[in-house]
Amino acid sequence: METELEMVKRHVRQGERHVKRQREIVQELFDHKHPTVLAEQLLLAFEETLFDHRAHLARLMPAGR
């Protein structure tokens, strides 16, 4: 069973992958002259979620780490 710290670290890693891939998708759409509005909105949602996960991780980490 994973600890809360392990879970939050996993969420941060997954969030980083989601943001990276969504940025690639936005760029691919842009490069092929397709609409990007919805993809950019999803990217923003992923970035906001990642920010929240990182803040949660910061609260769990011991001071000085």
pLDDT in tens, 22-56: 999 999 999 999 999 999 999 999 999 999 999 99
Q: What is the domain range of residue 52?
A: 4-60
Examine residue 22 and state whether it is found in any structural domain, yes or no: yes
Task: Tell me how many domains the chain contains.
Answer: 1
Going 10 to 14 to 58 to 4, the CA torsion angle's sign is negative
Q: Say if 65 falls within a structural domain.
A: no
With respect to residue 42, please indicate whether it lies within any of the assigned structural domains.
yes
SS3 category, 19: helix
Three-class secondary structure of residue 57 per DSSP: helix
Among 6, 13, 25, residue whose Cα is nearest residue 49? 13
In angstroms, the CA 39 to CA 56 distance is 26
The confidence band for 64, taking pLDDT boundaries of 50, 70 and 90, is low
> Is 11 inside any structural domain?
yes
Asked if residue 41 belongs to a domain, the reply is yes
* CA-to-CA dists, residue 13 to 27, 35, 51, angstroms: 21, 28, 12
Question: Residue 32 falls within a domain, yes or no?
Answer: yes
